[in-house]
């Protein structure tokens, strides 16, 4: 008789298979490389950088900067860049999203 596993249980099983962690690392390194290239084309000032973190099971590609959310998803600017009384919206760069192929 067939045995059914929940998605959570199946993820745990697959994550422990030989070679899975290494393959995820290879994929994460490709995403980091692509994200780094994308960030370099927009780098004007600041300390933004793309880093790679290895977890016990997963790998993480990170956009490290105090304004990482604004860089990735966009933000409103007030002050010298706005029209009188109208804040200006600065489009996000979607550095990680595009590098990972999800945007």
Residue 84 has pLDDT above 80, yes or no: no
| CA–CA dist 97, 38 (Å, integer) | 11
Q: Burial level of 25, CB count in 10 A (0-12/13-18/19+)?
A: middle
The domain segmentation of the chain, as residue ranges, is 7-99
**DSSP 8-class letter at 54:** E
Report, as an integer, the average pLDDT of 3-16: 90
User: pLDDT per residue over 26-58, tens digit each?
Assistant: 999 999 999 999 999 886 667 899 999 999 888
Question: pLDDT tier at 82 (50, 70, 90 boundaries)?
Answer: low
């Amino acid at each position: 008789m067939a045995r059914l596993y929940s998605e959570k249980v199946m993820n745990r099983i697959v994550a422990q298979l030989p070679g899975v962690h290494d393959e995820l690392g290879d994929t994460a390194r490709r995403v980091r490389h692509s994200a780094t290239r994308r960030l370099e084309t927009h780098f004007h000032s600041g300390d933004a950088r793309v880093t790679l973190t290895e977890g016990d099971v997963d790998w993480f590609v990170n956009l490290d900067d105090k304004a990482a959310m604004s860089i990735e998803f966009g933000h409103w600017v007030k002050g010298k860049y706005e029209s009188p009384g109208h804040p200006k919206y600065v489009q996000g760069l979607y550095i990680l999203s595009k590098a990972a192929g999800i945007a």
